[in-house]
Structure 1
Amino acid sequence: MYKIGENMNFYNVVSVEEAKDIINCDFKLNLKTELIDIKECNGRVLSRDIVSPLNIPGFKRSMVDGYAVKFRDLQGASESMPSMLDLKGEVKMGKMPVKSLEFPGECMYIPTGGMLPEGTDSVIMIEYIDKMDDATVLANKSISFGENVLNEDEDVELGETVLKQGTLLRPYSISMLSSLGITKVPVFRKPKVGIISTGDEIVSPEKQPQPGEIRDINSYLIYSSVIEDGGQPILYGVIKDNYEELFTTVKKAVNECDLVLVSGGSSVGKKDETAKVIDELGNPGILFHGISIKPGKPTILGKIKDKPIFGLPGHPLSCAVVYRTLVRYLLHAMMGFEDVDYPIPCKFSMNYHKAKGREEYLPVTINRIGEEYIATPILTKSAAISGFTKAWGYIKINKNVEGIYEHEKVYVYKFQR
């Protein structure tokens, strides 16, 4: 068990992977589901597999503008020896053909997407047809069986699983739902995420800070991030460094939310009360206190009433990194969704030294020079907001290495979607 207990040593740290293992082992992250309108489901996560109730397109249709034919009628056709065909009308878009073609040598004009008439099996493109008169055309090219035809189950087959549970719904997957006639979509309910900022020095954004005070940054950083990740954020305001007030607010948030995030107070200063509150609100309390990550080492994960609660660092860059690394991971796990990053390979712009023992997340900008992308670090302290507002993304530096050489290949992960 990862719980350190009452006499735990602060910064008896776990690695990022160990922290994820704790999340996976200690929480049952199944949310309730709901049916929502298809127009509202962009960015939501499917709560069950979608199995096709029909074939798509459901009929044989032409993939080109041309003429529906029997392919055998065109065998051997060429520009020097075209095949003569009897034109029997045309197929109307969105309509069943009014007649079938029963005799050899017959054809019908058909637009892209039109339904093939009975008795035909292929379509010759209009470019290879010369029209002689209203009743006769010449085909100057041979074609194969089924050429330019989409079969009735070629796109989607009856009974096929077209979208799996855990799929993050985006415009293309939503268009699939529409094609199946599914207008009420089963999705996981948005996790309710309580957000609490702590600190005597923190004031709300609309107030003018006095000397020694700063405006609340992290509440709005986290609030926006939760929305981006499919959650429902709930702000509980700024709580001063007061144990009773923080205890009451955290207890209320735990009762009302699926996940609680407390920004600030996770270190070991005299006024840092977050760890004490988490440990005293219920068993098992704190699961770990400290991660081998830079920035973001003073991070807490606790468990109250089977619900996760994070104590996040108060410094904005540290808070952003821990959110991106662990909170987002937990939110997606709640919804059965696994986010996959596809980093951009770049060359590093300089020699950079780091201490061994901690995985580091270093914000960078990207510039393109010729055919190469160059990643340049933003060297800022974790208390500074500018580090991630200027950054395109970040690189992960393994805890067992001491830095990066100039021109070394690195992989840059985007901060935002």
Structure 2
Amino acid sequence: MSEAGKRIIFHELLTPEETLSKVFSTVKVEPLGTEVVRIEESYGRVLARDVYSRIDVPPFDRATMDGFAVRAEDTFGADELNPVKLRVIGNIETGAEELPQVNSGEAVEIATGAPMPPGANAVVMVEYTKRSGDELVIYRSVTPGENVMSAGSDVMMGELILRKCTVIREREVGLLAAVGIDRVEVFRRPRVAIISTGNELVSPGRELGRGKIYDINTYTIAHAVRSMGAEPIIMGIVRDDINEMRDAVNKALSIGDLVLLSGGTSAGLADLTYKVLDEIGPPGIIIHGLKVKPGKPTVVAVSRDNKLVIGLPGYPSSALMIFNIIVKPILAKMLCTGIDEIRIKARLAIRADGAKGRRALYPVSLVDTGHGVVAYPLPAESGAISTLAFADGYIAIPETVEYLDSGDEVEVTLFTHQYMPANLYIIGSHDLGLDVLIPMLPGFVRARVINVGSMGGLYAVKRGEADVAGLHLVDEETGQYNVPYMVKYNVNNAVLIRGYFREQGLIVPRGNPKNIRGIEDLLRGDVRIVNRNKGAGTRFLLDIKLKEIANKMGVKFEELVRRINGYYYEVKTHTAVAAAVAQGKADAGVGIRAAAAMYGLDFIPLGWESYDFAIPIDRLEKDSVKAFLNMLRSSEFKNALSKLPGYRVPDDIGEVIWKGQ
């Protein structure tokens, strides 16, 4: 076997903390020099030195109210019954440079923000006065300094206003402007070279060939770099060729202060990253795997001129999580900033398993129930792109913990700096009809869809986590959809709303090359299937059909499914089933006709099903739920839905078909 083809063995796995400690002890990570920028170009930049004020702010005593500048002593004792009369000697507007002297018995009309005239020490608000010509009648006394901001009361000359390593944003630049500073010295932005590796990658915008996928990590990582205040340099896609990879890494090292690779770091035959990165030293590779899941194959190397190269996982959500726990602290030191992470408490919606001696990282989608936040774990290693769209952040299960159960409290590290709760949580079975309906909702509705299958949606409604749950659960005994499950699982806090009908069937490649005619053909040795996740209504349907076949054959259901190639290959959406068939990963899968049509695949009908909506009774008056139901019943949605292949609109769509007791 060639050297490039050897499999990588992970000899020593380190925790994230051990990894960072080793990085910082091997390489001096610090800011990379300074530059001077104009304040209008300083957003997100980091101050390289302390900033002191050169003036007082405000630079003069000024009025904080419209009224009359007076000597406070002249107003003592004034009230409605005993007003004081003063003589008005002038008027002062903002920006005035010539100011009259105020003597005893005199007053000057003054605008908010205008400089106080010499001799005056207070401002009487205009509503407590009455003026007739030059005579001013005052009905309320003032104390010295009332309605006046003194010079230097905000910032004094020589005062430290911003410290070194402060990130300049809208508030900081306002302070700089207030003291007259138009240029500041800031740390140079680290230049981060980004390389994506893999023969399967294609840049967005180009035609996607068979077996190819679009490059995602280049763009997600580049934005993550920007969010830290660093400058991404996109190097493009590198194929699984050792010479091409070597050239790309060397070029990246020549122009970047830090190099990030994604993909090509696992122990596969095509993974050449380790050989190339070991060549850039000494010392070369210093970290050979992390004690985390996902992210075990993360690699860190140091070049001969002490530049860091970090190899991230290929899956987008995994790459972002490793970026957060490894790359962010490194960039923070290069920028002289802290890590601006927001963490919130939540409780788990469903069980999340640990990783047996490794730290398990789970992206999660958050649901604000009004009584606390619930975290739904999402697939991290499946390569599901939707994980990126639906994940609000991630949780970490310690190496020593076997699992966290539903209801356990967790700490969620947010991917963004702000958590914006949705006001319509749709949790349940995946459906293309919802993809049509949601964009039609009014602008005030912020919908979040979490695909956990019909049973997951049913439980989410029962626990009060979902506003709406899409269900298509067929009862094995009666053949009735959804109502038997509302009864069986005592979902008495909810109503079931009539949705619409969808056609289910076998999705197969165009032309049906394996000549599949029905469920029985899934038992053939030359047929690979893709299945839906446990709890999905489609999985229920397939299992019912398989149980009928098992009974006819006189074998146990468990024995029958073991004979099906791919039965345990699970995906979470109908479109994922169609995608697996289109990409040649499976020869068949059960799904809806619309998903097959979307990918130009053939479809073998199995029958029509009811896709209905369970809604907690106490959410029916919620404005976003009302908007959902109004749109469900609207002619606009009915017309749009009827255009989807394999969908039918019933006459009673949007009506209550069952109510809890």
TM-score, length basis structure 1: 0.90
Which range moved further: 118-127 or 139-148?
A: 139-148
Structure 2 counterpart of 1:341: 341
User: What is the Cα deviation at residue 400 of structure 1?
Assistant: 3.7
Cα separation, partners in 2 of 1:72 and 1:412, compared to 1, 3 Å: farther
Structure 1 counterpart of 2:503: none
CA RMSD, Structure 1 to Structure 2 (Å): 2.2
Deviations 1:338-389 (A, max 9, x none): 1332323334333433235333332222333335333322245342221121
User: What is the Cα deviation at residue 283 of structure 1?
Assistant: 1.3
SS at match of 2:364: strand
SS at match of 2:260: strand
Structure 2 counterpart of 1:363: 363
CA contact (8 A) 2:354 2:398 kept: no
SS at match of 1:86: strand
Structure 2 counterpart of 1:21: 21
User: What is the Cα deviation at residue 114 of structure 1?
Assistant: 0.8
Give the counterpart letter for 2:261 in structure 1.
V
Matches within 5 A, 1:302-341: 302-304=301-303, 305-341=305-341
Structure 2 counterpart of 1:218: 217
User: What is the Cα deviation at residue 11 of structure 1?
Assistant: 5.2
Structure 2 counterpart of 1:5: none
SS at match of 2:145: coil
Which range moved further: 310-319 or 359-368?
A: 359-368
Deviations 1:25-69 (A, max 9, x none): 322322121122222211222222211111111101111222222
SS at match of 1:166: coil
CA contact (8 A) 1:295 1:382 kept: no
Structure 1 counterpart of 2:141: 142
Whether 2:87 is the aligned partner of 1:86: answer: yes
CA contact (8 A) 2:29 2:330 kept: no
Task: Give the distance between the partners of 1:397 and 1:141, measured in 2 at CA.
Answer: 66
CA contact (8 A) 1:11 1:291 kept: no
Deviations 1:301-331 (A, max 9, x none): 1111111110111111111111122212212
Deviations 1:88-128 (A, max 9, x none): 2221111135311122x32222211110110111223223x
Higher relative contact order (CA 8 A, sep 6+): 1
Matches within 5 A, 1:365-384: 365-370=365-370, 372-384=372-384
Which range moved further: 115-124 or 138-147?
A: 138-147
CA contact (8 A) 1:30 1:335 kept: yes
Give the counterpart letter for 1:31 in structure 2.
L
SS at match of 1:265: coil
SS at match of 1:389: helix
SS at match of 1:235: strand
Matches within 5 A, 1:182-201: 182-201=181-200
CA contact (8 A) 2:280 2:302 kept: no
CA contact (8 A) 1:345 1:409 kept: yes
User: What is the Cα deviation at residue 9 of structure 1?
Assistant: 6.1
Whether 2:144 is the aligned partner of 1:108: answer: no
Task: Give the distance between the partners of 1:373 and 1:87, measured in 2 at CA.
Answer: 62
Task: Give the distance between the partners of 2:131 and 2:371, measured in 1 at CA.
Answer: 54
Structure 1 counterpart of 2:393: 393
CA contact (8 A) 1:27 1:308 kept: no
Structure 1 counterpart of 2:60: 59
Cα separation, partners in 2 of 1:263 and 1:120, compared to 1, 3 Å: same
CA contact (8 A) 1:352 1:405 kept: yes
Which range moved further: 109-118 or 347-356?
A: 347-356
Give the counterpart letter for 1:412 in structure 2.
V
SS at match of 1:221: helix
CA contact (8 A) 1:355 1:402 kept: yes
Structure 2 counterpart of 1:411: 411
Deviations 1:206-229 (A, max 9, x none): 333333322211112212222232
Matches within 5 A, 1:275-290: 275-290=274-289
Cα separation, partners in 2 of 1:400 and 1:153, compared to 1, 3 Å: farther
Give the counterpart letter for 1:185 in structure 2.
V
Task: Give the distance between the partners of 1:88 and 1:411, measured in 2 at CA.
Answer: 66
SS at match of 1:81: coil
Task: Give the distance between the partners of 1:154 and 1:24, measured in 2 at CA.
Answer: 44
SS at match of 1:311: strand
Task: Give the distance between the partners of 1:354 and 1:274, measured in 2 at CA.
Answer: 28
Task: Give the distance between the partners of 2:222 and 2:416, measured in 1 at CA.
Answer: 14
Task: Give the distance between the partners of 2:380 and 2:31, measured in 1 at CA.
Answer: 39
Cα separation, partners in 2 of 1:395 and 1:149, compared to 1, 3 Å: farther
Give the counterpart letter for 2:297 in structure 1.
P
Which range moved further: 144-153 or 51-60?
A: 144-153
Structure 2 counterpart of 1:299: 298
Structure 1 counterpart of 2:51: 50
Cα separation, partners in 2 of 1:83 and 1:394, compared to 1, 3 Å: farther
Higher fraction of helix:
2
Cα separation, partners in 2 of 1:333 and 1:382, compared to 1, 3 Å: farther
Task: Give the distance between the partners of 2:76 and 2:40, measured in 1 at CA.
Answer: 49
Structure 1 counterpart of 2:38: 37
Whether 2:152 is the aligned partner of 1:153: answer: yes
Show structure 1 runs of 5+ residues with no match. 1-7
Cα separation, partners in 2 of 1:55 and 1:403, compared to 1, 3 Å: farther
CA contact (8 A) 2:9 2:267 kept: no
Task: Give the distance between the partners of 1:210 and 1:224, measured in 2 at CA.
Answer: 27
CA contact (8 A) 2:63 2:113 kept: yes
Bigger CA radius of gyration: 2
SS at match of 1:374: strand
Task: Give the distance between the partners of 2:342 and 2:136, measured in 1 at CA.
Answer: 53
Give the counterpart letter for 2:45 in structure 1.
R
Structure 1 counterpart of 2:492: none
TM-score, length basis structure 2: 0.58
Which range moved further: 150-159 or 378-387?
A: 378-387
Task: Give the distance between the partners of 2:153 and 2:20, measured in 1 at CA.
Answer: 41
Cα separation, partners in 2 of 1:295 and 1:376, compared to 1, 3 Å: same
Deviations 1:173-230 (A, max 9, x none): 1122222222222222221111111122223223333333222111122122222322
Task: Give the distance between the partners of 2:108 and 2:21, measured in 1 at CA.
Answer: 64
Give the counterpart letter for 1:86 in structure 2.
R
Give the counterpart letter for 1:175 in structure 2.
G
